[in-house]
Structure 1
Amino acid sequence: MELDTPVLDNHMHLDPDYGRGLDAVEDFARLGGTHLLVVNKPSWHLDVEAETGEDFREVFERTIAVVEDASELLDGRAWPVLGVHPGLISRLVDERGFTPEEARNLMQAGLDVAAEIVEDGRALALKSGRPHYDVEDAVWDASNAVMRHAFELGAELDCAVQLHTEGSDDLTEVADWAEDAGLPAEKVVKHYSGGTLAGPIPSVMSEKDRLRVAAETGEPFLMETDFVDDPDRPGAVMGPKTVPRRVRWLLEEGHDDAVRIAHVETPRTAYGIKTRNHL
């Protein structure tokens, strides 16, 4: 089946040094993928142990470079999404001796650098969140402060914020925090979502069961693989061919409206991007 639609993977990582890099993009494009949102890998995965906010710039610049190369392989284009992985706080506190407050300040400073790049037009959105595992109260509070700082930056820049958080079907409180900061909830995107989510826009992992639920709601959603591009975990979390394959499946199941919502309407609403205009 030829795909007469844009096909966007909302959350993918690319590592040209140690992973598959552009080979993964070629696989995505060969199956009909047209657009990518590429999120920087966690800083420590790129051997960056940040001491200052400025130290994150290397991570962001490496991501921008691979995104530029990826765009050359797509009928559409790729965009960078830049930020500080919320799991860093545990690395800082548990392994490097930071207090939660010191870790909060460093992570917020890293987001400030990412925001500069978004403001310059070289990245599309910010990435933040909080740990998806149990942490002590002080770490949880510091993580929430980092996330709320990302919302403030997103509001200033009028850009989306992608979130990495605990699994949930109700993050209304988090969306309310974004609204309080001046960032509309429709510009808050929950990475690694199930088929339904109250509050932010769900970026649904591209498993058939989750997608069927999302498609039947008629609500805004996005699709993703969270491909991690790690040579020690080939194909994890999902391979780069998955989203195009699932789009074909959705169309075969008669979910044409859901495909339009996920790959045209929601990208425009959340990120201000026009996927059809790039084909």
Structure 2
Amino acid sequence: MIDDLDTPVLDNHLHLDPRHGQGIDAVEEFARLGGTHLLVVNKPSWLLGVEPDEPADFRPVFEETIDVVERATAALPGRAWPVLGVHPGLIDRLVDERGFTPAAARDLMQGGMEVASEFVADGEALALKSGRPHYDVSDAIWEASNAVTRRAFELGAERDCAVQLHTEATEDLTDLAAVAEEAGLDPARVVKHYAAGELAGPTPSVMSDKDRLERAAESGESFLMETDFVDDPDRPGMVLGPKTVPRRVRWLLEEGYDEAVRRAHVQTPAAVYGIDTEATLE
């Protein structure tokens, strides 16, 4: 940590691509600005050259993410953790480009989630990632995507881990919170990535622009902070850069939101993921 930022600083959702992007250089930028902890989500399988035919085909995607997380931890004053799963956008590729039926795509993606959950069970990953498309799709694909998400919740309950969600833009996900509860997973351990400042249902992982963060801080509710950094040189302006979360933490402290910073970077990570961002600092 730099001297004037005396708090853990967690980016709850970003991607690292040492093959094509900044990789560990991005981690070092994050750390130089005061960042301490990262939750690194595997990139979509097709961006790593994997076009799966069976669940085991996802394994190299997860293993590559675990490898880069180990290297990220070595570059941080705290540590990084992997979040593994199947990107919901895969269903379009399977159905539209590869001739899968929605039911066959559902089965393959559920199988991929089961493989991801094995890494959680073995202590190699912290949480799962699933969800549904954020754009209009057919009823059959919507139903299949919701079935994949339900399976992710079941696996989260079985493995006692959180589930990050990629979904449509909304401030009300009480429908998925109810599904999680039915599956035996506490809805507070369901995290909507790319969230606005407030959210009904799951825990919001708030995109770190000032307006959203101010709403989250004022709400008094649990929240996390993220950039969704994609680490793709072909999309350099896509979402937020790795320096953003530490910069926004500094801004929140300057604005007097000390309690909100502690909520986002100490209390909520402990409640959702069972991690201690203070004890894991050097």
Question: Common fold, TM-score beyond 0.5?
Answer: yes
Q: Secondary structure at the match of 2:134?
A: coil
| 5+ residue gaps, structure 2 | none
Q: What one-letter code is carried by the residue in structure 2 that aligns with 1:232?
A: D
Q: Please give the alpha-carbon distance, in whole angstroms, between the structure 2 residues aligned to 1:236 and 1:119.
A: 33
> Which residue of structure 2 aligns with residue 241 of structure 1?
243
RMSD between aligned residues: 0.6
Q: Please give the alpha-carbon distance, in whole angstroms, between the structure 2 residues aligned to 1:149 and 1:185.
A: 14
Q: Please give the alpha-carbon distance, in whole angstroms, between the structure 1 residues aligned to 2:238 and 2:61.
A: 21
> Which residue of structure 2 aligns with residue 57 of structure 1?
59
Runs (4+) off by over 6 Å: none
Matches within 5 A, 1:1-279: 2-279=4-281
Q: State the TM-score, normalizing by the size of structure 2.
A: 0.98
Q: Please give the alpha-carbon distance, in whole angstroms, between the structure 2 residues aligned to 1:38 and 1:165.
A: 18
Q: Post-superposition shift, 1:234?
A: 1.7
Q: Please give the alpha-carbon distance, in whole angstroms, between the structure 2 residues aligned to 1:259 and 1:18.
A: 33
Q: Please give the alpha-carbon distance, in whole angstroms, between the structure 2 residues aligned to 1:236 and 1:249.
A: 22
Q: Please give the alpha-carbon distance, in whole angstroms, between the structure 2 residues aligned to 1:108 and 1:118.
A: 15
Q: Please give the alpha-carbon distance, in whole angstroms, between the structure 2 residues aligned to 1:139 and 1:233.
A: 27
Q: Post-superposition shift, 1:103?
A: 0.2
Counterpart contact for 1:227–1:235, Cα < 8 Å: no
Counterpart contact for 1:34–1:74, Cα < 8 Å: yes
Q: Post-superposition shift, 1:228?
A: 0.1
Q: Post-superposition shift, 1:278?
A: 1.0
Q: What one-letter code is carried by the residue in structure 2 that aligns with 1:178?
A: A
Q: Please give the alpha-carbon distance, in whole angstroms, between the structure 2 residues aligned to 1:217 and 1:56.
A: 39
Q: Secondary structure at the match of 2:231?
A: coil
Q: Please give the alpha-carbon distance, in whole angstroms, between the structure 2 residues aligned to 1:220 and 1:262.
A: 7
| 5+ residue gaps, structure 1 | none
Q: Post-superposition shift, 1:236?
A: 2.4
Q: What one-letter code is carried by the residue in structure 1 that aligns with 2:257?
A: H
Q: What one-letter code is carried by the residue in structure 2 that aligns with 1:240?
A: P
**Between Structure 1 and Structure 2, how many residues are aligned?**
279
Q: Post-superposition shift, 1:2?
A: 1.1
The one-character-per-residue Cα deviations of 1:66-95 (angstroms, maximum 9, x if unpaired) are 000000010100000000000000110111
Identical counterparts, % of pairs: 73
Q: Please give the alpha-carbon distance, in whole angstroms, between the structure 2 residues aligned to 1:252 and 1:96.
A: 52
Counterpart contact for 1:152–1:178, Cα < 8 Å: yes
Q: Please give the alpha-carbon distance, in whole angstroms, between the structure 2 residues aligned to 1:76 and 1:151.
A: 28
Q: What one-letter code is carried by the residue in structure 1 that aligns with 2:234?
A: D
